[in-house]
Amino acid sequence: MATVITEKLSRLLFNVRQGPQLLAPLSPSNATQLFQQHNEAINVWTHLVAALILLLRFQQLSQRVDFGQDLHAQPLLIIIAASITYLTFSTLAHLLQAKSEFWHYSFFFMDYVGVAIYQYGSALCHYYYAIEPSWHEKIKGFYVPAAVLLAWLSCAGSCYAKYQYHQSAGLLSRLCQELPSGLAYMLDISPVVHRIYTAPPSQQSDPALLYHKCQVLFFLIGAFFFSHPYPEKWFPGKCHFFGQSHQIFHVCLVLCTLAQIEAVVLDYESRRHIYSALQGDLAHNFSALCLFTVTCSVLTAAYMARKVKTKLSFKDE
């Protein structure tokens, strides 16, 4: 899925005449940056290693999960593919964004597409596998459409903030980027939080529930370091290569994703009697909405990349 999305984004962003330019940032010499010391090295490796771990996990799962025939396995496939996608796109963004000003914008726009896909995948797997019937009854009328909308708004807001307020940490920039993502998270995680707080004492030691708790904890810690420049604020000039808040955010997000995948796998295996009754044969509809989210996010990134190209052409003149 990550390969398909990357190819679609490339075709949308660049026309045929720009073929040689497209190949330049992905030349073999760029791979050597993986092994060089620079302030993005930790950010690159954390997500690259996590993507490889999830690829291996998917290979293991494919030996016992029939992703092709089991209708109820589709949301599990989506969250794994979405996780690998956002980790891959983030790796490329942090590794290659310094090639030029245009590529800086374009790769981070691609990164925001990956985040939007992951947000929808998270919302779907929480709604499909982790939700309790009582909470499902309350939110089934709006949850999935709202998850799609907020995932797209997260991508659009981040792209706009990058384009309009580049290198600015002002209030408007943070609102554009963080408000949609914050609202998306509150909605997406609500089935998990409800389950954690309503689970009887006999279920508190359920391994899936423990993984869900770890997932929430790692995300909240990561969100703090994403929004606050610590510890570099405490040690000015000492955290250029190691110890940046964004690096801590990356590590926490990776741990959150890995815990989430394990929780979802356990829910898929142990809660079929619950989710099969709640979701019926809606898995295909949810998969179609995933493709819709991907399409809207990719088109938004392509549109913003075109605006960047126009902006930079005027600057050159």
Asked if 109 and 162 count as a contact pair (C-beta separation under 8 A), the reply is yes
When pLDDT is cut at 50, 70 and 90, the band that residue 298 belongs to is very high
Q: What is the pTM of this model?
A: 0.84
CA dist., res. 140 & res. 128, Å (int): 11
What is the tally of structural domains in the chain? Answer: 1
pLDDT at 163 over 70: yes
pLDDT of residue 240: 60
When pLDDT is cut at 50, 70 and 90, the band that residue 196 belongs to is very high
292: in domain:
yes
23: in domain:
no
312: in domain:
yes
What six digits make up the tokens of 314? 């005027």
pLDDT at 76 over 50: yes
CA dist., res. 125 & res. 22, Å (int): 35
The residue among 47, 289, 249, 10 whose CA lies nearest residue 152 is 289
pLDDT at 234 over 80: no
pLDDT of residue 162: 87
What six digits make up the tokens of 302? 């392509």
Mean of all residue pLDDT scores within the chain? 83
Judge if the upstream peptide bond of residue 145 is cis by omega within 30 degrees of 0.
no
When pLDDT is cut at 50, 70 and 90, the band that residue 167 belongs to is low
pLDDT at 170 over 90: no
Q: 10 Å Cβ neighbour count for 174?
A: 14
33: in domain:
no
The residue among 262 and 199 whose pLDDT is bigger is 262
100: in domain:
yes
pLDDT of residue 312: 83
pLDDT at 233 over 50: yes
Asked if 169 and 176 count as a contact pair (C-beta separation under 8 A), the reply is no
Range(s) of the domain holding residue 88: 41-316
Q: What is the three-class DSSP state of 61?
A: helix
* Among the ranges given (63-77, 123-137, 144-158, 160-174), the one the predictor scored with the smallest mean pLDDT: 160-174
pLDDT of residue 35: 46
Instruction: Identify the CATH number of the domain in which residue 48 sits.
Output: 1.20.1070
24: in domain:
no
Greatest C-alpha distance within the chain:
69
197: in domain:
yes
7: in domain:
no
Output the CA torsion 116→122→124→126 (10° steps).
Answer: -160
**CA neighbours within 13 Å on the CB side: how many for 87?**
26
Q: At what angle do helices 101-125 and 171-188 cross, to 10 degrees?
A: 20
What six digits make up the tokens of 128? 């499909």
